Amino acid sequence: MTSRIALVTGASAGIGASCAAALSAAGHRVALMARGESALQTVAATLPGQTLVVPGDVTSRDSVEATFAQVEQHWGPVEVLVHCAGSGASKPLVDTSDDQWQQMLDLNLTAPFRCLRRALPGMTSAGFGRIVVVASVVAKRGESRVAAYTASKHGALGLVRAAAAEVARTGVTVNAVCPGYVDTPMTESTISAIASRKDISHEQARELLGCRQPIGRLVTPDEVADAVMLCVGSGAITGQGINVDGGAVQS
């Protein structure tokens, strides 16, 4: 595949770091965005290809603009955008505050919207682009105690599908990858919460969470990156929400 200019948000750990590694191994130049510069530098040091560390906050409109501008200044327009930045919060719906609700929307829905809005003009002008948003399996189903997170991820999938329909004839594809429970630092916090709530050990909570998926284990970040790279490599996959959830949601 032709070497492209890629930007990965949320690249400092977990799925984002695995996607950056997969893109770099495939020969692409990879710009890494997250809030922590030190963690980004650590990831960059492990990649085989050209990298650009661009610390920034995806929830800040100015920071998103500055990140894209910096990539353009160094290499040129972003051709592959992999948006991995995101987070979850667990609370019963009736205990979810307005601030917690807004935080989930800002990070999981407004941030990808702004990144897509910034990336698409350059891609459509060039006649090539690949956008992949890492959503969640709860973009396709409801789940208790995560109403704000679930709503934001449903919105992200809708955003992807609307964008894909708009640019379908331009050479740009827009997809979502929808992981289940993945072995990442974010999931570790979920495991800790389960252990505390059920008064069981951390390892028992991890096993319990893994058993919620038909494969009986947590998905690995590299397995999510495999699905992302499938979307990056194909011009015929667009408007999709590809599940990487061990068979939990068959759609």
> Would you say 14 and 85 are in contact if contact means Cβ atoms under 8 Å apart?
no
Helix and strand numbers, DSSP H then E, in the chain: 9, 7
Note the pLDDT of residue 89: 84
User: Using the 8-state DSSP alphabet, how is residue 182 labeled?
Assistant: B
Q: Which residues pair with 177 in a beta bridge?
A: 134, 242
Active site residue: 22, 83, 132, 149, which one? 149
Note the pLDDT of residue 177: 98
Tokens of 40: 């980004």
Note the pLDDT of residue 189: 81
Give the strand order in the sheet containing 51-53: 51-53, 29-33, 5-9, 80-83, 129-134, 172-179, 241-244
- How do the pLDDT tens digits run along the chain, 251 residues long? 689 999 999 999 999 999 999 999 999 999 999 999 999 999 999 999 999 999 999 999 999 999 999 999 999 999 999 999 999 888 999 999 999 999 999 999 999 999 999 999 999 999 999 999 999 999 999 989 999 999 999 999 999 999 999 999 999 999 999 999 999 888 888 888 888 888 999 899 989 889 999 999 999 999 999 999 999 999 999 999 999 999 999 88
Domains of the chain as residue ranges with CATH: 5-180+220-244 (3.40.50.720), 181-218 (no CATH)
Q: 206 Cβ partners below 8 Å, 6+ apart?
A: 191, 218
Is 149 a residue of the active site?
Answer: yes
